[in-house]
Amino acid sequence: MPKMKKWMLNDEWLSECRNSELKEFIQGKFSIEDPVYVNNSENALQIDLTRYYFFRKRISVAVQVFKDLLGDGDFLFCEYGSIGLSDLKRYVIGRPNKINCIEYQTANPDIEYSYSNISYVRVSGNCFRFRKYARDVMYRKNFWNRYYFIDLDRQRVVRMYDDRGMDILCDKELRKTLYEKYCNIISYFYRKDIQKSIYGDENKTE
């Protein structure tokens, strides 16, 4: 489990200083703007769930990816363009922590959000219903999927953009592990670029 920071153990999440780390992360090292892979290609990989015809298989694989990235540790469950989290009680088991909100203006001119904000809550991996969330992405009607999963301590982001796949941002060592585990469903369109970001110019057999 990643080392907990003192401010994460405090319910008073509303001061600006406690939001600064998240702001620095999403405006600095990584961009959480869609399309996430395209905006972070040197630090990302993309899982292509369309390799599986049945949605139930896509759901199982998505849940495993979430577990591989986030485990049982703490992460931030974030909703883009929202004040508050629309589905907090649907996905979080037990009494959730306090919701926090930061101002964030999208740089994508093709997307209009109701609010220029990102709302988030600290959640433990063993208290989040990943399977229900993945099922909603696949089946739920009129589901506006504006959710991101961010682990600040380990510098990881998971974005299940729709029923077709997932974008993952993480360090090179973990990308290599995930590439080798999910080699058969790495995005064909970006495969060569992903290989190069992990292995450099050395040849990598399929």
CA distances from 82 to 26, 59, 85 (A): 16, 25, 7
**Whole-number pLDDT of residue 30:** 83
pLDDT at residue 108 is higher than 80: no
Q: Which of 14-28, 39-53, 109-123, 135-149 has the lowest mean pLDDT?
A: 14-28
Confidence of residue 203 (pLDDT cuts 50, 70, 90): low
What average pLDDT does this structure show over 79-91? 92
Confidence of residue 58 (pLDDT cuts 50, 70, 90): very high
Q: CA-CA distance, 37 to 103, in Å (whole number)? A: 23
**Whole-number pLDDT of residue 47:** 98
**Whole-number pLDDT of residue 202:** 66
Percent of the chain's residues with pLDDT above 90: 67
DSSP readout, the chain? Answer: -PPPPGGGG-S---SHHHHHHHHHHHHTT---PSSHHHHTGGGEEEEEGGGSSSHHHHHHHHHHHHHHHHTTSEEEEEEET-SS-TTHHHHB-SSPPPPEEEE-----TT---SSSEEEEEEEEGGGB-HHHHHHHHHH-TT----EEEEETTTTEEEEEEETTEEEEE--HHHHHHHHHHSGGGB-TTTHHHHHHHHHTTS----
Q: CA-CA distance, 137 to 133, in Å (whole number)? A: 6
**Whole-number pLDDT of residue 201:** 76
**Whole-number pLDDT of residue 168:** 97
What average pLDDT does this structure show over 151-167? 96
- Smallest CA-to-CA distance from 195 within 174, 179, 171, 178 is with 179
**Prediction pTM value:** 0.88
**Whole-number pLDDT of residue 92:** 97
Dump pLDDT digits (tens) for 183-201.
Answer: 999 999 999 999 999 999 7
